[in-house]
Structure 1
C-alpha cells in the first residue's frame, strides 16, 4: 500500500501528485495503455513493467517539467517509456528537442550500465502537457530543423527522426488518449492537472469526475489518494480555502465521501502543524550553529550560511557536533558541504591553531 504523500523540497505540486500516482504500477500501466499506439500496447508484456530510478531533466528546468522512466519487455527487447510532465502554462516551441536530449541521456546511462551492448533499447517519448492554448508546437524532431526547398529532402535522411506521444490535458479533457484504459485515480489526476489554478473550472467541472472519484474513495488506499488530491488542489488553488475545496469534493462524490474528506483534511492539518514545529526547531538550530561558527571562526562564508539555513534538523544536529573539532567552517559541513580544496586546508588549520 502506497504511503501518504509528503511535501518534498524543491518539488512542484504537479510533480508530487504525478510521481505519487504513476509510480504505482497499476496506474502507470493504465496511463501508458491510454497514451501509446494500439500496436505497442498489444506487444508490451505489462506484467514486466517496472519503475526505473533516476531523472534526466536539467536542474535549472525542474520548476518547469519533471520526468519518470518506466520499462517493460516487448518481444525479445526491453522498451523504455520516457515520460515528461510539464509544469508551465505555455507551449515550449523546442520541447521535442529537449525530449531528445533527455532520451540521449537515458541511452547513455543504459550503455554505461551494460557496456557489452551491440544494439540500443527502444525509447518511447511521452509528454503530459497543460497550457491555456493546448499543444501548438511540433511533435516531430525533424519538423523543428529549419531547412526548406529541395535541400530538405536531401538532408532528411541525416536528421534524427522521432515523434512525441502527446497527452494534452488542456481544456479539461485528456486529448489523444483512450480514457477507458486509465484507472479511476489516473482519470482524476489528469483532470486535476487540467484545471490547476482555474478555480471556476474546478467548481464547474467537478461533476465530470464524480464517478471516478467515488471509485477512488472505495479503493483500499482511497484515503491516501484523497489526501494526495487535496494537497494538490490546495497548492494549485490558493484563493480557495481548504474547507472550500473539501466541500467541492464532497459535493461531487456524495455523502459517502464526507467522512473520508474530513479525515483527509484533519491529516493535512496535523501534518502541517508537525511540519511547522519541525521547521521552527530547524530554524532555531540553524541560528545557533551560525552563532557558534561566528564565535569560533569569525564571519561565516555566505555559501556555508545558505546551506545551513536550508538544512533539515537531523543534518543540523550532525553539523553542530563538529563545531569544536572542525578546522574550518567548510569542514563543519563535512561530506555534506563543499570542502576547502586540499591546497587551502593546511593554511586554514594553521590559522585555527594560532587562534
Structure 2
C-alpha cells in the first residue's frame, strides 16, 4: 500500500494536484527521471529519494507558483531537486532570477543546518510551466543580465551561471520529457495540467491518456487518484459540470473503471453538499453576529464586518459568545479572545507593577 502523501497548506488546484501526486515517491522518481539529464539519472541512488520540508517561495507569490524540494544520495553526498510549478498563464521574464533566489535560500538553510560543510550540495532547478504561448523567456541566469558588447566575455566569470530544467506542458504535451520514465498517474497529471481551462481540448484529446488512466484506476489507490483528478478538472473547467467531466472520463475508461468514476463523482458531490450546508450555517451565524453588534454598539466598523463575513462557523460561535461582555466590537473578534479592552489595560499594568 503506498504511503499517504504529505499534508501541506495548498494555494491552488494546480498545487493541490501536483503535491498530492508527486509527494508520493514512486511518482516523484518517475517525474525526475523523465525530466533530468541521463547522466544525472544514472548517478542518483533513487531508493534514497526523500521529500524535504519547507517552502522558499515568497508568501505574496504563492498564488502564482509553489515549490517542492526533494533530495537523494549521489556519490558521497546528496543532490537536491528544487521544483516549481507555475499557476499563471503568462511567461514571467525573470522567472530564472526567482529560481536562483529560492535556490540560494535552500543553500542557506542547508549550510545553517550543517555548519561543518566545506562544500555545498548540487541543486537541480526544475520548472513545470504552462502558458498560452509556451515558454518564451530565458532559461539561463546569465542571459537575463544586461551585459553586452566587448566587455561581456570578461564579465561572465563574475555572473552566476545556471540553467532551468524546463518541463513545458503548454499545448497539450509535456515537452523535453522522457515519457517512458513517468508513472501512469504522472502522465495523466501532466496532461491534466496541460489542458487546464481548455474545455475543447479536454474533450478532444482525452483519448491520449486512455491507457494511462485505465492503469491508474487499477492501482491500489486508484479511487483516491481518480477523485484527485476529478477535483482538479472540476476546479479548472468551471464551464463544465461535474457530471459532464465524469462522462468525458467514462468514454475513455474501460468497463471496470466506469464504476470507479461514478463512485468518485458521488463522493465529490456529497462533499460539495456538506461544504454548502456548512457555508450556509456560517453565513447565518455571521448575519446574526452583525445584528447583535449593531444592536449593542451601533454601526459596525467595516474591518470588523469584513472579518466576520470571512470567518468559519467555529470562529463565529466563539465570537458570538463574547458579544455581551466585550467593551468594543474589536474586542469581540480579538485574537483568541485574549486581547484586553482599553478599560482593563491600566488595571493590568498596575497589577504587573505590584508583582
Query: SS at the partner of 1:154?
Result: helix
Q: Give the Å deviation of 1:201.
A: 1.2
- Give a deviation string over 1:74-96, Cα, whole Å, max 9, x none: 22222221111112222111110
Q: Give the Å deviation of 1:318.
A: 3.5
Hey, what's the Cα distance between the residues in 1 that align with 2:238 and 2:220?
A: 29
For the 8 Å contact 2:5–2:24, the answer to whether it is kept is: no
- Give a deviation string over 1:197-256, Cα, whole Å, max 9, x none: 111111111111100000000011111111111111111112222222111111112222
Hey, what's the Cα distance between the residues in 1 that align with 2:112 and 2:138?
A: 31
Hey, what's the Cα distance between the residues in 2 that align with 1:216 and 1:275?
A: 28
Hey, what's the Cα distance between the residues in 2 that align with 1:45 and 1:336?
A: 48
- In the alignment, structure 1 segments of 5+ residues that lack a partner are none
Q: Give the Å deviation of 1:179.
A: 0.7
Structure 1 residues 4 and 52, CA, compared in 2 at 3 Å: closer, same or farther?
closer
| Between 329-338 and 98-107, the greater mean CA deviation after superposition | 329-338
TM-score (norm 1): 0.88
| Between 328-337 and 268-277, the greater mean CA deviation after superposition | 328-337
Query: SS at the partner of 1:142?
Result: helix
Query: SS at the partner of 1:6?
Result: coil
Hey, what's the Cα distance between the residues in 2 that align with 1:39 and 1:349?
A: 67
| Between 79-88 and 320-329, the greater mean CA deviation after superposition | 320-329
For the 8 Å contact 2:71–2:79, the answer to whether it is kept is: yes
| Between 240-249 and 311-320, the greater mean CA deviation after superposition | 311-320
| Between 44-53 and 190-199, the greater mean CA deviation after superposition | 44-53
- Give a deviation string over 1:2-34, Cα, whole Å, max 9, x none: 799999987221111111111111111111111
Structure 1 residues 224 and 19, CA, compared in 2 at 3 Å: closer, same or farther?
same
Query: SS at the partner of 1:132?
Result: coil
For the 8 Å contact 2:141–2:163, the answer to whether it is kept is: yes
Q: Give the Å deviation of 1:310.
A: 2.3
Q: Give the Å deviation of 1:306.
A: 2.9
| Between 115-124 and 137-146, the greater mean CA deviation after superposition | 115-124
Number of equivalences:
355
Name 2:220's counterpart in structure 1.
220
Query: SS at the partner of 1:71?
Result: strand
- In the alignment, structure 2 segments of 5+ residues that lack a partner are none
Name 2:318's counterpart in structure 1.
318
For the 8 Å contact 2:36–2:165, the answer to whether it is kept is: yes
Structure 1 residues 150 and 10, CA, compared in 2 at 3 Å: closer, same or farther?
same
Name 2:155's counterpart in structure 1.
155
Structure 1 residues 3 and 321, CA, compared in 2 at 3 Å: closer, same or farther?
farther
TM-score (norm 2): 0.88
Name 1:276's counterpart in structure 2.
276
How do 1:290-309 and structure 2 match up within 5 A?
290-295=290-295, 299-309=299-309
For the 8 Å contact 2:213–2:253, the answer to whether it is kept is: yes
For the 8 Å contact 2:52–2:71, the answer to whether it is kept is: yes
Hey, what's the Cα distance between the residues in 1 that align with 2:40 and 2:343?
A: 57
- 1:22 is aligned to 2:22: yes
For the 8 Å contact 2:3–2:24, the answer to whether it is kept is: no
